[in-house]
Amino acid sequence: MPHRHYNGLKTALLFGLLGAVVLGASYLLFGRSLAALTIGLAIALLVNLGSFWFSDTVAIKAMRAYPVTEAEQPAMHRIVRELSARAGQPMPALFVSPTASPNAFATGRSPKHAAVCCTEGILELLSERELRGVLGHELMHVYNRDILTSSVAAALSSVITYLAYGAMFLGGGNDREERGGGFGALLLLILGPLAAGVVQLAISRTREYDADEDGAALTGDPVALASALRKLEAGTQQLPLPPEPRLQSTSHLMIANPFRAQDVGQLFSTHPPMRERIARLESMAAGIRR
């Protein structure tokens, strides 16, 4: 899988960044106390582990999805079984969300503990060939370990945000004036969440491009995925998900931005522009034909 190595490097860098930020915020809050720094780092590690280990459960519950048998969704099972066998990977659990908005996502901590979910809307909207392209994309998120990367990025964003508010409202340690703790806390409050969000958005956008490319290579049909993305762009704008907190926390997993453009500005969208994704896939298809 061509992008797995790079995603592993991104994850390692994110772990390092998270640890550094937590230690820095703990210093602002509690001073040079070794115990406080140790507690801060432990919290960061626990948040990362929890968000990663339970990522599949959280996402599936947020979308109120239910497991489906082969008798209930024969095409979905047939496509995923074929693509999993082609990739030499185990068959993931399959779910359907009772949602009219057309979308799909994959989650889980490893290929052996993965889940792929389609909404009822996407199953009605796409042809079987287009659905195959979408499922190839989602499987590559699993095989590229994107769920681990995105879980760490999300944890990074959350921890920095909470620590920023803590630094502001709880104040610094005993040497606060010497360190300029009040000013440092204010900077952390303003810049911390912004920096965390930028990192998370960059990771999310990159992994979507990678999953498009690798998924199209897995199916051998980039045109089908491009066609599916074109339909999904229109479908999610006509039938968006409500911007509720439980859905916002899982939106980065979905193949298409599930919210209206005015609800989530383009600059701060977790997804790259759909026209750019489609253009890349069409260029890929042209290269295959040549």
Q: Would you name the residues annotated as active-site residues? A: 138
Range 258-289 burial, b when 16+ CB lie within 10 A, else e? bbeeeebeeeebbbbebeebbebbeebbeeee
Q: Which two tokens stand for residue 85?
A: 């066998």
The tally of CA atoms less than 13 A away on the side-chain side of residue 31 is 7
- Alpha-helix runs per DSSP H in the chain: 4-30, 34-53, 55-62, 74-87, 120-125, 128-143, 146-170, 176-179, 181-219, 222-238, 245-248, 274-289
**Collapsing DSSP states into helix, strand and coil, what is residue 203?**
helix
For residues 207 and 7, the answer to whether their CB atoms sit within 8 Å is yes
Backbone angles phi, psi at 149, to 5 degrees: -60, -45
